């Protein structure tokens, strides 16, 4: 039986690259995004594969997480991997964050991890195990001088939650890991030359990574049978220390 993976935030950026990588392996992929139109556009870019199931909905809602697993099981039988990729990044000075900013980050980055992870643990515990991979942030491992307090707060918490959940579900043969990206070239950064140069300056090697670098890291973790509770930084050394 083909393995099945759920990828949240699958319509663009890192999620799209992760979904594409699993599809290239012949896996069944259940892609989630808030907008069905964006998922359909992604499916068209991938050639409308029959094993790419689209499930739209707000990942902050418990009902969406439940629907992802219910529809995955109805279509493919069971779920082997959950990639909690959906996330937003709001960069502001600490004193400038609003209540709306806080609510948005907590909804997508925190609730969008918790509710799918709960469904995954319930499902995987009943089916012999599986993998959960959380996409967090290198800044949540080693903060730098950056205007990103809220993302650091939540992503840093998710790095620790990854370790805590790995221990909690170890006896259920569920591996829980995280990939912590550094500066990755994605559409959200735009093409402004000044912005691109600023972002490159946040990396020791003065270059940005690709979405495929993150997808490769996710595949590595879900291929492993003896890695759990690990946060894998993919940032070209940015989290290694002062530089």
Could you report the per-residue pLDDT of 1-54, keeping only the tens digit for each? Answer: 899 999 999 999 999 999 999 999 999 999 999 999 999 999 999 999 999 999
* CATH for the stretch 4-183+212-236: 3.40.50.720
Cα 131 to Cα 47, 64, 173, 195, distances in angstroms: 27, 19, 9, 36
CA angle (84, 89, 91) in 5-degree steps: 160
- The pLDDT of residue 242 is 84
Partners of 55 in beta bridges: 32
- The pLDDT of residue 1 is 80
pLDDT digits (tens, 9 = 90+) for 69-113: 999 999 999 999 999 999 999 999 999 999 999 999 999 999 999
Which one, of 135, 129, 133, 120, lies nearest residue 70 by Cα?
120
Cα 207 to Cα 25, 179, 204, 233, distances in angstroms: 28, 19, 8, 15
The C-alpha atoms of residue 141 and residue 55 are separated, in whole angstroms, by: 31
Which one, of 104, 115, 113, 51, lies nearest residue 85 by Cα?
113
Q: Which residue shows structure tokens 């809220």?
A: 150
pTM (global) more than 0.75:
yes
pLDDT above 80 for 189? no
The answer to whether the CB of 44 falls within 8 A of the CB of 20 is no
Q: Confidence class of residue 243 from pLDDT cuts 50, 70 and 90?
A: confident
pLDDT above 80 for 146? no
Structure tokens at 17: 């690259």
- The pLDDT of residue 72 is 98
């Amino acid at each position: 039986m083909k393995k099945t993976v759920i990828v949240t935030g699958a319509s663009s950026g890192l999620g799209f690259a992760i979904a594409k990588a699993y599809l290239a392996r012949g896996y069944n992929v259940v892609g989630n995004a808030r907008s069905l139109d964006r998922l359909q556009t992604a499916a068209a870019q991938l050639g409308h594969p029959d094993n790419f199931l689209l499930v739209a909905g707000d990942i902050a809602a418990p009902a969406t997480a439940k629907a992802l697993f219910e529809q995955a099981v109805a279509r493919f039988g069971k779920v082997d991997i959950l990639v909690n990729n959906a996330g937003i990044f709001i960069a502001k000075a600490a004193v400038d964050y609003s209540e709306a900013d806080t609510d948005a980050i907590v909804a997508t980055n925190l609730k969008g991890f918790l509710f799918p992870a709960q469904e995954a643990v319930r499902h995987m515990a009943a089916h012999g195990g599986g993998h959960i991979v959380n996409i967090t942030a290198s800044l949540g491992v080693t903060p730098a001088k950056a205007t990103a307090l809220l993302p650091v707060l939540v992503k840093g918490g998710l790095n620790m939650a990854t370790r805590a959940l790995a221990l909690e579900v170890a006896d259920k043969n569920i591996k829980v890991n995280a990939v912590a990206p550094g500066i990755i070239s994605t559409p959200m950064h735009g093409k402004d030359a000044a912005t691109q140069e600023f972002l490159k300056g946040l990396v020791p090697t003065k270059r940005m990574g690709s979405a495929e670098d993150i997808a490769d890291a996710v595949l590595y973790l879900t291929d492993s049978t003896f890695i759990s509770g690990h946060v894998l930084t993919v940032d070209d050394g940015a989290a290694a220390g002062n530089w």
